[in-house]
Amino acid sequence: MVAYRMPWKHWSPERLGVALAIVAALGFSFKAIFVKLAYAVPQVVPVDAVTLLSLRMLFALPVFAWVAFQSGRAAPPLSRRDWMTLAALGMLGYYGASIFDFIGLQYISAGLERLILFTYPTLTVLIGVLFMGRPIHRREMAALLLTYAGIALAFFHDLEFVGETNAVLIGGLFVFASSLAYALYLSGSASMIQRLGTARFTALTMIVSTLATQIHFFLAQPPSALNQPLPVYAYSAAMALFSTVLPVFTLSAAIRRIGPSPTVLIGTLGPVLTIAFGWWLLGEPLSLAQMAGVGLVLAGVMLVSRR
């Protein structure tokens, strides 16, 4: 019997890292598509953001619980301060950022959502400048200008085709709040990742965010809200596995092999993929203004991510 060969076992670390970064970008780019598809499932009352996020986190929880158990077996116990830090970061990074994002997607297109989320590298730079005493360089200033000029063009695209200024502004503000929450999470997570390791840190923060999400759900909705049509469960499970578990770990593996800057640069495929899938699967329109906005945002992210 001829053994099944896995060609990636013979790849160089660089080639494998690039492939893993592309898989992560693909997984993250599909999240908004799954959310929009779930919102569009025909039923008397469409699924709301809190219920959809609750389902996503519940489907992902077993994987992260197993990873937390395995990675913590031989590790030293966590102190009270560690748990407080993990709680704060979990609330920011995966609960806060996700709930703002899901609410925003009720108002704006998947393409605009992905572009606004991609402001997090420049927001991370600003947080470092304003609160951590880091200097800002001309290259970073240019990146900020390019990124937010691109967001402005993408806003004009949504305003032109949606026609509801208030809806686009509300959705854009919620998604920007999501990007800010994620940038704060990144700014505060570096020391904890060094101490706990990527897998254990990520799994524990995901468990914290899952608990926060379920508390929010039971405060805001009756348990019967979890009774959803089969397509909503399917999109939630796909979002949990393909757009949460898979990209979280492939992204970490890519960073370990090729470093953070190349991984971020490859991740700029994300907005392009989201816009393409939004056009193909959701029927979202394309325009020259949107394409120009994409180019400016990606140029800004590439500039701020250079060594």
Q: Please state, in angstroms and rounded to a whole number, the distance separating the CA atoms of residues 232 and 289.
A: 33
3-class state of residue 307 by DSSP: coil
Q: What is the pTM of this model?
A: 0.87
Residue 6 has what pLDDT?
64
Residue the block writes with tokens 């360089």: 137
Residue 2 has what pLDDT?
47
pLDDT tens-place string over residues 37-80: 999 999 988 899 999 999 999 999 999 999 999 988 888 888 99
pLDDT tens-place string over residues 204-252: 999 999 999 999 999 999 999 999 999 999 999 999 999 999 998 888 8
Instruction: Assess whether pLDDT exceeds 60 at residue 83.
Output: yes
Residue 179 has what pLDDT?
93
Average of per-residue pLDDT values in the chain: 87
pLDDT tens-place string over residues 127-182: 878 777 778 778 878 888 888 888 888 888 888 777 678 889 999 999 999 999 98
Integer CA distances (angstroms), 140 to 99, 176, 178, in order = 29, 19, 21
Instruction: Assess whether pLDDT exceeds 50 at residue 1.
Output: no
Q: Please state, in angstroms and rounded to a whole number, the distance separating the CA atoms of residues 101 and 213.
A: 13
Task: Tell me what percent of the residues of the chain surpass a pLDDT of 90.
Answer: 43
Q: How many CB atoms lie within 10 A of CB 103?
A: 20
End-to-end CA distance of the chain: give it in Å, rounded: 49
pLDDT tens-place string over residues 266-303: 887 888 889 889 999 998 888 888 888 888 888 887 77
Q: Please state, in angstroms and rounded to a whole number, the distance separating the CA atoms of residues 187 and 108.
A: 27
The residue among 13 and 23 whose pLDDT is bigger is: 23
Q: Please state, in angstroms and rounded to a whole number, the distance separating the CA atoms of residues 253 and 291.
A: 31
